Structure 1
Amino acid sequence: MEMVDGDRLGRLVSAHPVAVSRRWRTGGLALAIGLAGALFLAYLISVAPASGSGRPLLLGLIPMACGLPIAVVHLTRAVRSGRHETFELYENGLGRRASGGHRSWTWEQVAEIRVKSNDGALWVRLGWDLKCSVRFTDGTRVRIDGQTEDSRLIARTLLARRPDAVPPPTDPLGAWRVVRWVLPIVIVVSASALVLIARHVNAHDGYHRVPDSEGVLQLQPEVSDAEMALLTLGGVVSAIALICSLVLLGIHVLTRVTGRR
């Protein structure tokens, strides 16, 4: 069998290619669904009556909020992988071949292992039935998912070799891993709410005649003070949610790009 770096890694035990083309297909399909939802949502916001029901907006909001994040994840990983990506199990370590060349690490260089399994046909289709994240002592992080051939074998080998690298179950960053997926949805919902509130106020900024107790017509604003207060409160809450979500998402993207958590 192949020897790498002398005796550092030992013999090559198995190679596990990644289905990069499948990532491109899944990401492209998710992008098409997300963009279609975004265009339909923009159409509804621009032409739907301001006083109409907001339920039709869900027809554009749901595919956009679901499709675009999935597209970003798959297409980003596809670009990083290049035309081919393969994980290699050696007697004494793990290797990875991708567009950036070949990297390898010994078992002693494994600093942290996180493995999560998901059941269900949708997770299998997305390649997320297994998520294995490995951080090494040099700061490099690799992610192995269900789109890698025999990915569970790699995960089992890592856990068997370095069981001490698994963090405690009470991980304070676990909540953040959930929140970061919710942020795009919060951004879309809050931005849509701001647009709808603004259109509603602009469409009802006039006055209408209302008879009083004596039958005399009185001019009254179309939007009552109570309704305006609720709209203002909703606008402030939506604006705060939008700004905070954009900042948090920006921090997350920046740390991913720079390689820091």
Structure 2
Amino acid sequence: MKQNKYDDPNFFAAYEQMPRSVKGLEGAGEWHIVKELIGDLKDRNVLDLGCGFGWHCRYARAQQARSVTGVDISKKMIERAREMTNDPAISYIRVSIEDIDFSNNQFDIVFSSLAFHYIQSFQTICEKVYECLVPGGSFVFSVEHPIFTSRNEQDWYYDDQGNRMHWPVDHYQSEGVRETNFLNESVTKYHRTISTYMNDLISSGFLIKAVKESVPADDMLEDPEMKDETRRPMFLMIAAEKT
């Protein structure tokens, strides 16, 4: 089932108040790692799956990408991205990631930020991305880390005084649906192991180039809200290449 929580007015209102929504890429704790994985974008044709407000699309053009296509299922997201963009080389398409249908060898790089854990079949996405990439093209994405998605609760274990004791991991090998809470709303996510992410890429023909686990940049660690983000990785990031 394709999920579109972002067109819910209450959910969208909460989302647009998040630091990464207000500050853009500099408000994303993993951006300093993702940026290195993306690499050189000059003269590249770029596809962004789950583009949201279009921050990564505009970054790609600032890095002299030839063309950028942003895809998102949410009408509100696409509208906001268009409002924030004044560049004819960037186009936004409202379609679910599961339903993308681009030409073979159309893009030099396909990117996605924190979208695939909302999609039931990662294998299907890998196959579609492989087809629309040029030979030697790059596939770079981030997802919520499997130790984060393993439990429905997706929260710390607290002591009687409300202090964070540890991050619990359970049912890690049991892949599938997780009904969890995000921005005070019920959200469906799909848990899969690190090995499944990697093996789905390999079986689709990709060569894995790098695997990273998030840690905030040094300057972000000065924020008290980020002080526990070194205790467990919240995001997993992978760069792969079409062989």
Asked if these proteins are the same fold (TM beyond 0.5), I'd say no
Structure with the bigger percentage of helix: 1
* TM-score tier (shorter): under 0.3
TM-score, normalized by length of structure 1? 0.25
TM-score, normalized by length of structure 2? 0.27
Determine which structure has greater relative contact order: mean sequence separation of CA pairs < 8 Å that are 6+ residues apart, divided by chain length: 2
